[in-house]
């Protein structure tokens, strides 16, 4: 679970003599399954470490295809997705979004 604090201005902010704006109420926003919009999972041994870790934090991820050799075809992207899914826990709901 990732938490972020947000400060919002009151509808009519008060400006004190020191010209400092007084901020309003502190609010909390909880993101339970955020997305990773730029994820490098790598391949081989690193994939087996990074994929389960990322799957535990994120619901979806846009997977970067720059491996050696790079992923340049749909067939290769689907094969890479299968390799990723073999490394993540089966009871999770991680969805790797593949790119070319």
pLDDT tens figures, 25-55: 677 778 888 999 999 999 999 999 999 999 9
Q: What is the pTM of this model?
A: 0.72
Burial code of 40-66, b = ≥16 C-beta within 10 A, e = fewer? ebbeeeebeebbeebbeebebbebebe
Domain ranges within the chain, ordered by starting residue: 2-98
- Whether the pLDDT of residue 6 is over 60: the answer is no
pLDDT value of residue 27: 73
What the block records as the tokens of 53 is 């870790």
- CA gap 79, 73 in Å, rounded: 10
Task: Compare 43 and 23 and report the one with higher pLDDT.
Answer: 43
Cis peptide before 7 (omega within 30 of 0): no
pLDDT of residue 18: 63
- pLDDT on residue 30: 81
Predicted confidence at residue 32, as pLDDT, reads 83
Q: What is the pLDDT of residues 61-93, one digit of tens each?
A: 999 999 999 999 999 999 999 999 999 999 889
- List, in order, residues 6 or more apart from 72 with CB less than 8 Å away: 65, 100
């Amino acid at each position: 679970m990732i938490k972020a604090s947000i400060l919002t201005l009151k509808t009519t902010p008060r400006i004190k003599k020191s010209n400092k704006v007084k901020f309003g109420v502190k609010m909390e926003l909880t993101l339970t399954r955020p997305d990773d919009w730029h994820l490098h999972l790598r391949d081989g041994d690193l994939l087996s470490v990074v994929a389960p870790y990322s799957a535990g934090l994120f619901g979806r991820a846009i997977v970067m295809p720059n491996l050696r050799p790079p992923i340049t075809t749909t067939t290769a992207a689907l094969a890479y997705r299968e390799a990723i899914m073999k490394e993540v826990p089966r009871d999770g709901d991680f969805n790797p979004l593949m790119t070319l």
